[in-house]
Amino acid sequence: MKIGVLALQGDFIEHIHALRRIGVDASEVRLPAQLEALDGLIIPGGESTTIGKLAIDFELMEPLRAFGREKAIWGTCAGAIFLSKDARREQPLLELMDITVARNAFGRQVDSFEVDLNVPALEAVDPRGTPYHAFFIRAPLIESVQKDAQVLASLPDGRIVAARQGHWLATVFHPELTPDDRFHQYFVEMARAA
């Protein structure tokens, strides 16, 4: 099992550390050839417009789409935007996952916050089902899911913050910034099954 982390911009190193903590082989991806032999790919948080522009410069757009048609991809925050079909503005997107996102959806006053989420899907990796403490940093929202995309977690007011569609996962918060590795374990299981 080997998982790559797109390392063009953003907090990729924290994902590498989380994967190594759970005993998974992890590597940084900057070139199309580095996608070979991977079982899954994480696209980190950062700035989605910058990640998109760099992906074009590094000739990664088509290789990433081809990879994603076959294998597991998880986008966190900016990575979730990049993975989506629609960010309701002009910017380079992989246009894989049938979700519509709204960037910087939480405004300035509360552009960073923490909240406990109820995520039943994580019981697949830990049956205790304890709440998941999530960090939001200038986060987008998942406005809606389409086709067979499913909601995995919502805020208490119903706004969607995590979704899955087959072997694609999107979270608008930052699991790489907590010591709770359940989302990384969950994604590794997705990659194993894909």
Q: Which residues bind ligand GLN (CB under 6 A)?
A: 45-48, 77-78, 81, 103-104, 137-138, 140
Active site residue 133: no
The Cα–Cα gap between 185 and 192 comes to 11
Helix (H) or strand (E) holding 42: strand 40-43
CB 18 within 8 A of CB 175: yes
The one catalytic residue in 77, 95, 133, 189 is 77
The one catalytic residue in 14, 15, 167, 176 is 176
Q: Which is nearer to ligand GLN, 104 or 130 (CB)?
A: 104
Closest contact distance (angstroms) between CB of 2 and ligand GLN is: 24
Residues 6 or more apart from 75 whose CB is under 8 A from it? 42, 43, 81, 82, 83, 84, 97, 168, 169, 170, 171
Active site residue 95: no
The one catalytic residue in 15, 167, 174, 184 is 174
Active site residue 174: yes
Helix (H, G, I), strand (E, B) or coil at 96: coil
DSSP 113: E
Q: Which is nearer to ligand GLN, 126 or 159 (CB)?
A: 159
Q: Which is nearer to ligand GLN, 106 or 132 (CB)?
A: 106
Residues noted as catalytic: 77, 174, 176
